[in-house]
Structure 1
């Protein structure tokens, strides 16, 4: 699969992303199931989020990505302070990605997930959503990156601390 929005293979893409970890009261976190367009037979679970666009704050991008990717409407100001940041490197679509990520944790109850606002490339590379405890995800070996189970733990802990204060 090729997409005109993908840079040529071999390109190094440096990007800043905003990512959101919606957490249910039972401590499960919403993740997306998808794959690299060049490796459709190797799916994985990954966090909701995407690139920060020109003129956007990281918080505004997180709110927009949450709406676009899973149909959850939360104003940027309700996301609170980030719970984690990191920089990871990985290959996707034949490109080397260097991605600085800012993570927000949000408590949610009964949300209905919708892929209706996803872009064409997302629709072509995302098949499902699921709610995960960090230990269960870790046991599958299907997290997109080794840091994701720990980020799930951080999100749950951050929300517990917010509720306690």
Structure 2
């Protein structure tokens, strides 16, 4: 049976996304734990974020995705400027995806993570959240993409720089 919430298998999906890296004072970054709906036996850790909707800026998408995915509300000016951009290619739900990503770092203290606002497909493919030091994540080999540990390092450095300024 085909899941009607996913594009037809083989469809190449090109998307522009906003990714947000919440950083605690101890240098740990919030990530989500989940899997491809066609490969639930191979979970991984990935960054918070999602697609930029028509008429929305990348920053607006990041501010929207935080409460949708993890229940964190922030004022738009708290994201600051992007800390990184990249483009990755991967497969998810049977579709090749070419994703242009813009990453924002945001300093947080104690936050209550909630999955209450996630869409049904997210609830079915995201099992947990976790706070990670970049080196610890890298050592597990469980990052969704090889670039994630370095992106976490950039986010931690940016937040420390902002706080020292």
Gapped runs of 5+ residues in structure 1?
none
Matching of residues 141-160 of structure 1 within 5 Å: 141-160=141-160
Tell me how far apart the structure 2 counterparts of residues 124 and 2 of structure 1 sit (CA, whole Å): 15
Task: Give the 3-state SS of the residue equivalent to 2:117 in structure 1.
Answer: coil
Determine if contact 1:3/1:121 at 8 Å carries over to the other structure.
no
Task: Give the 3-state SS of the residue equivalent to 2:122 in structure 1.
Answer: helix
In the alignment, which residue of structure 1 is the partner of 2:56? 56
Tell me how far apart the structure 2 counterparts of residues 36 and 76 of structure 1 sit (CA, whole Å): 30
Tell me how far apart the structure 1 counterparts of residues 66 and 135 of structure 2 sit (CA, whole Å): 24
- TM-score with structure 2 setting the length: 0.98
Matching of residues 75-94 of structure 1 within 5 Å: 75-94=75-94
The CA RMSD measured in Å over matched residues stands at: 0.9
CA drift at 1:2: 4.2
Task: Give the 3-state SS of the residue equivalent to 2:160 in structure 1.
Answer: helix
- Count of aligned residue pairs for this structure pair: 165
Gapped runs of 5+ residues in structure 2?
none
- TM-score with structure 1 setting the length: 0.98
CA drift at 1:3: 2.8
Determine if contact 1:22/1:108 at 8 Å carries over to the other structure.
yes
In the alignment, which residue of structure 1 is the partner of 2:28? 28
In the alignment, which residue of structure 1 is the partner of 2:122? 122
Task: Give the 3-state SS of the residue equivalent to 2:54 in structure 1.
Answer: coil
Task: Give the 3-state SS of the residue equivalent to 2:142 in structure 1.
Answer: coil
